Amino acid sequence: MLKVKNLKVGYGNVPVIFDFSFQVKQGDIVAIVGSNGAGKSTLLKTISGILKPTGGEIQFMGERIDTIPAYKIVEKGISHVPEGRQVFGKMSIKDNLLLGAFTIKSEEQKTKLLKDVYEIFPILEERQDQKAETLSGGEQQMLAIARGLMSNPKLLMIDELSLGLAPFLVDKVMDTLKIIRNKVTILLVEQKVQEVLEIADWGYVVQNGRLAIEGTGEELLQSDIVKKAYLGL
Protein backbone atom coordinates (compact mmCIF):
# COMPACT_ATOMS: atom_id res chain seq x y z
CA MET A 1 0.00 0.00 0.00
CA LEU A 2 2.70 2.49 1.05
CA LYS A 3 6.34 2.40 -0.06
CA VAL A 4 8.91 4.86 1.22
CA LYS A 5 12.24 4.64 -0.60
CA ASN A 6 15.54 6.21 0.50
CA LEU A 7 13.77 9.16 2.11
CA LYS A 8 15.77 12.20 3.18
CA VAL A 9 14.12 15.06 5.08
CA GLY A 10 15.45 18.11 6.88
CA TYR A 11 14.48 21.44 8.41
CA GLY A 12 16.40 24.14 6.57
CA ASN A 13 19.99 22.90 6.36
CA VAL A 14 19.57 20.46 9.25
CA PRO A 15 18.99 16.85 8.09
CA VAL A 16 16.62 14.77 10.25
CA ILE A 17 15.82 11.64 8.20
CA PHE A 18 18.69 9.83 6.47
CA ASP A 19 18.02 7.44 3.58
CA PHE A 20 15.02 5.82 5.28
CA SER A 21 13.03 3.04 3.57
CA PHE A 22 9.98 1.14 4.81
CA GLN A 23 6.62 -0.17 3.62
CA VAL A 24 3.08 -0.74 4.87
CA LYS A 25 0.98 -3.67 3.68
CA GLN A 26 -2.77 -3.35 3.36
CA GLY A 27 -4.68 -4.48 6.46
CA ASP A 28 -1.68 -4.32 8.81
CA ILE A 29 -0.93 -2.30 11.90
CA VAL A 30 2.62 -1.00 11.34
CA ALA A 31 4.52 0.73 14.13
CA ILE A 32 7.41 3.15 13.90
CA VAL A 33 9.00 3.39 17.34
CA GLY A 34 11.93 5.22 18.83
CA SER A 35 12.89 7.85 21.37
CA ASN A 36 11.77 11.47 21.33
CA GLY A 37 13.56 13.40 18.57
CA ALA A 38 14.41 10.31 16.49
CA GLY A 39 12.49 11.64 13.47
CA LYS A 40 9.24 9.67 13.77
CA SER A 41 6.84 12.62 13.52
CA THR A 42 8.89 14.07 10.67
CA LEU A 43 8.28 10.85 8.71
CA LEU A 44 4.50 11.16 9.08
CA LYS A 45 4.50 14.86 8.20
CA THR A 46 6.44 14.05 5.04
CA ILE A 47 4.10 11.24 4.00
CA SER A 48 1.08 13.51 4.48
CA GLY A 49 2.67 16.33 2.46
CA ILE A 50 3.20 18.85 5.26
CA LEU A 51 6.96 18.57 4.71
CA LYS A 52 8.68 17.96 1.39
CA PRO A 53 11.59 15.49 1.22
CA THR A 54 15.04 16.50 0.01
CA GLY A 55 15.58 13.06 -1.47
CA GLY A 56 13.93 9.69 -2.11
CA GLU A 57 10.29 9.08 -2.96
CA ILE A 58 6.94 8.02 -1.47
CA GLN A 59 4.47 5.79 -3.32
CA PHE A 60 0.87 5.17 -2.26
CA MET A 61 -1.24 2.54 -4.04
CA GLY A 62 1.42 2.47 -6.78
CA GLU A 63 1.40 6.24 -7.35
CA ARG A 64 4.10 8.70 -6.37
CA ILE A 65 2.74 11.27 -3.88
CA ASP A 66 5.74 13.20 -2.52
CA THR A 67 5.39 15.83 -5.26
CA ILE A 68 1.70 16.67 -4.66
CA PRO A 69 0.11 19.01 -2.04
CA ALA A 70 -1.20 17.76 1.30
CA TYR A 71 -4.92 18.19 0.51
CA LYS A 72 -4.52 15.99 -2.59
CA ILE A 73 -2.89 13.30 -0.44
CA VAL A 74 -5.96 13.31 1.84
CA GLU A 75 -8.18 12.88 -1.24
CA LYS A 76 -6.12 9.85 -2.29
CA GLY A 77 -6.90 8.12 1.02
CA ILE A 78 -4.31 9.04 3.68
CA SER A 79 -5.50 10.58 6.95
CA HIS A 80 -3.11 11.99 9.57
CA VAL A 81 -4.02 12.18 13.27
CA PRO A 82 -1.44 14.69 14.55
CA GLU A 83 0.59 14.62 17.74
CA GLY A 84 -1.23 16.26 20.65
CA ARG A 85 -4.70 15.54 19.21
CA GLN A 86 -5.23 19.12 17.87
CA VAL A 87 -9.01 19.06 18.26
CA PHE A 88 -10.92 22.34 17.82
CA GLY A 89 -11.79 22.99 21.47
CA LYS A 90 -14.46 25.67 21.01
CA MET A 91 -16.35 23.64 18.40
CA SER A 92 -18.79 20.82 19.13
CA ILE A 93 -17.72 17.22 18.89
CA LYS A 94 -20.03 16.70 15.92
CA ASP A 95 -18.60 19.73 14.08
CA ASN A 96 -15.05 18.46 14.73
CA LEU A 97 -16.03 15.18 13.11
CA LEU A 98 -17.71 16.83 10.12
CA LEU A 99 -14.56 18.89 9.51
CA GLY A 100 -12.74 15.59 9.07
CA ALA A 101 -15.10 14.81 6.18
CA PHE A 102 -14.24 17.93 4.16
CA THR A 103 -13.23 15.83 1.13
CA ILE A 104 -16.54 13.92 1.11
CA LYS A 105 -19.06 15.55 -1.24
CA SER A 106 -22.07 13.30 -0.59
CA GLU A 107 -24.17 14.29 2.45
CA GLU A 108 -25.50 10.73 2.55
CA GLN A 109 -21.96 9.35 2.83
CA LYS A 110 -21.09 11.88 5.57
CA THR A 111 -24.12 10.73 7.56
CA LYS A 112 -23.06 7.09 7.16
CA LEU A 113 -19.46 7.85 8.21
CA LEU A 114 -20.75 9.71 11.25
CA LYS A 115 -22.91 6.73 12.17
CA ASP A 116 -19.92 4.39 11.75
CA VAL A 117 -17.62 6.39 14.05
CA TYR A 118 -20.38 6.73 16.65
CA GLU A 119 -20.65 2.93 16.70
CA ILE A 120 -16.92 2.68 17.43
CA PHE A 121 -16.92 5.60 19.91
CA PRO A 122 -20.39 5.75 21.53
CA ILE A 123 -19.19 8.34 24.05
CA LEU A 124 -18.80 10.82 21.18
CA GLU A 125 -22.42 10.37 20.12
CA GLU A 126 -23.63 10.85 23.70
CA ARG A 127 -21.73 14.13 23.90
CA GLN A 128 -21.88 15.24 20.27
CA ASP A 129 -23.23 18.73 21.09
CA GLN A 130 -20.60 19.44 23.78
CA LYS A 131 -17.51 21.49 23.04
CA ALA A 132 -14.47 19.33 22.35
CA GLU A 133 -12.51 21.07 25.12
CA THR A 134 -14.87 19.56 27.73
CA LEU A 135 -13.64 16.04 26.94
CA SER A 136 -10.92 14.27 28.93
CA GLY A 137 -7.53 13.62 27.32
CA GLY A 138 -8.47 10.06 26.40
CA GLU A 139 -11.80 11.15 24.95
CA GLN A 140 -10.07 13.88 22.92
CA GLN A 141 -7.72 11.24 21.52
CA MET A 142 -10.74 9.16 20.52
CA LEU A 143 -12.23 12.26 18.87
CA ALA A 144 -9.00 12.88 16.95
CA ILE A 145 -8.97 9.27 15.69
CA ALA A 146 -12.68 9.44 14.81
CA ARG A 147 -12.12 12.72 12.93
CA GLY A 148 -9.33 11.01 11.00
CA LEU A 149 -11.72 8.21 10.02
CA MET A 150 -14.30 10.70 8.72
CA SER A 151 -12.39 11.18 5.44
CA ASN A 152 -12.93 7.44 4.80
CA PRO A 153 -9.18 6.78 4.48
CA LYS A 154 -7.41 3.70 3.19
CA LEU A 155 -4.44 4.48 5.50
CA LEU A 156 -4.77 6.09 8.95
CA MET A 157 -1.55 7.54 10.38
CA ILE A 158 -1.53 8.28 14.12
CA ASP A 159 1.24 10.31 15.77
CA GLU A 160 1.98 9.62 19.46
CA LEU A 161 -1.31 7.98 20.41
CA SER A 162 -0.40 7.72 24.11
CA LEU A 163 0.93 11.26 24.62
CA GLY A 164 -0.35 12.70 27.91
CA LEU A 165 -2.63 9.74 28.68
CA ALA A 166 -2.79 7.71 31.89
CA PRO A 167 -1.69 4.07 31.44
CA PHE A 168 -5.22 2.62 31.68
CA LEU A 169 -6.39 5.06 28.97
CA VAL A 170 -3.48 4.03 26.73
CA ASP A 171 -4.70 0.43 26.94
CA LYS A 172 -8.25 1.53 26.15
CA VAL A 173 -7.20 3.50 23.06
CA MET A 174 -4.91 0.68 21.88
CA ASP A 175 -7.89 -1.69 22.12
CA THR A 176 -9.77 0.67 19.81
CA LEU A 177 -7.08 0.22 17.16
CA LYS A 178 -7.75 -3.52 17.17
CA ILE A 179 -11.37 -2.72 16.31
CA ILE A 180 -10.74 -0.18 13.53
CA ARG A 181 -8.03 -2.29 11.85
CA ASN A 182 -10.91 -4.17 10.18
CA LYS A 183 -11.82 -0.93 8.41
CA VAL A 184 -8.48 0.72 7.70
CA THR A 185 -4.73 0.08 7.54
CA ILE A 186 -2.87 1.79 10.41
CA LEU A 187 0.58 3.38 10.58
CA LEU A 188 1.40 4.29 14.16
CA VAL A 189 4.25 6.41 15.52
CA GLU A 190 4.82 5.88 19.22
CA GLN A 191 7.26 6.23 22.13
CA LYS A 192 5.48 3.59 24.25
CA VAL A 193 7.39 0.75 22.62
CA GLN A 194 6.07 -2.22 24.61
CA GLU A 195 2.38 -1.36 24.19
CA VAL A 196 2.49 -0.64 20.48
CA LEU A 197 4.67 -3.62 19.49
CA GLU A 198 2.24 -5.94 21.27
CA ILE A 199 -0.46 -5.04 18.72
CA ALA A 200 1.72 -4.36 15.64
CA ASP A 201 2.03 -6.78 12.74
CA TRP A 202 5.32 -5.18 11.73
CA GLY A 203 7.56 -2.59 13.29
CA TYR A 204 10.49 -0.32 12.49
CA VAL A 205 12.86 1.13 15.08
CA VAL A 206 14.21 4.61 14.29
CA GLN A 207 17.40 5.90 15.88
CA ASN A 208 18.73 9.36 14.98
CA GLY A 209 16.77 9.47 11.73
CA ARG A 210 17.96 6.07 10.53
CA LEU A 211 16.42 2.61 10.46
CA ALA A 212 18.01 0.58 13.26
CA ILE A 213 16.03 -2.67 13.02
CA GLU A 214 12.74 -4.04 11.67
CA GLY A 215 10.63 -7.14 12.19
CA THR A 216 7.31 -8.41 13.49
CA GLY A 217 6.11 -6.83 16.74
CA GLU A 218 6.96 -10.04 18.57
CA GLU A 219 10.46 -10.25 17.05
CA LEU A 220 11.26 -6.67 18.03
CA LEU A 221 10.10 -7.21 21.62
CA GLN A 222 12.64 -10.06 21.82
CA SER A 223 15.41 -7.99 20.18
CA ASP A 224 18.40 -7.07 22.34
CA ILE A 225 18.46 -3.58 20.79
CA VAL A 226 14.85 -2.91 21.81
CA LYS A 227 15.21 -4.52 25.23
CA LYS A 228 18.28 -2.44 26.14
CA ALA A 229 17.33 0.88 24.55
CA TYR A 230 13.59 1.05 25.21
CA LEU A 231 12.43 -1.58 27.70
CA GLY A 232 15.17 -1.22 30.31
CA LEU A 233 15.93 -4.96 30.27
pLDDT class for 96, splitting at 50, 70, 90?
Answer: very high
The domain spans of the chain are 2-85+151-229
Give the CATH architecture of domain 2-85+151-229: 3-Layer(aba) Sandwich (3.40)
Question: Contact, 26 vs 48, CB < 8 A?
Answer: no
Is the pLDDT higher at 194 or at 201?
201
If phi > 0 it is left, if psi is from -120 to 50 it is alpha, else beta; for residue 20 that is beta
Find residue 23's DSSP bridge partners.
3
Which residue would you say has higher pLDDT here, 168 or 199?
199
pTM: 0.90
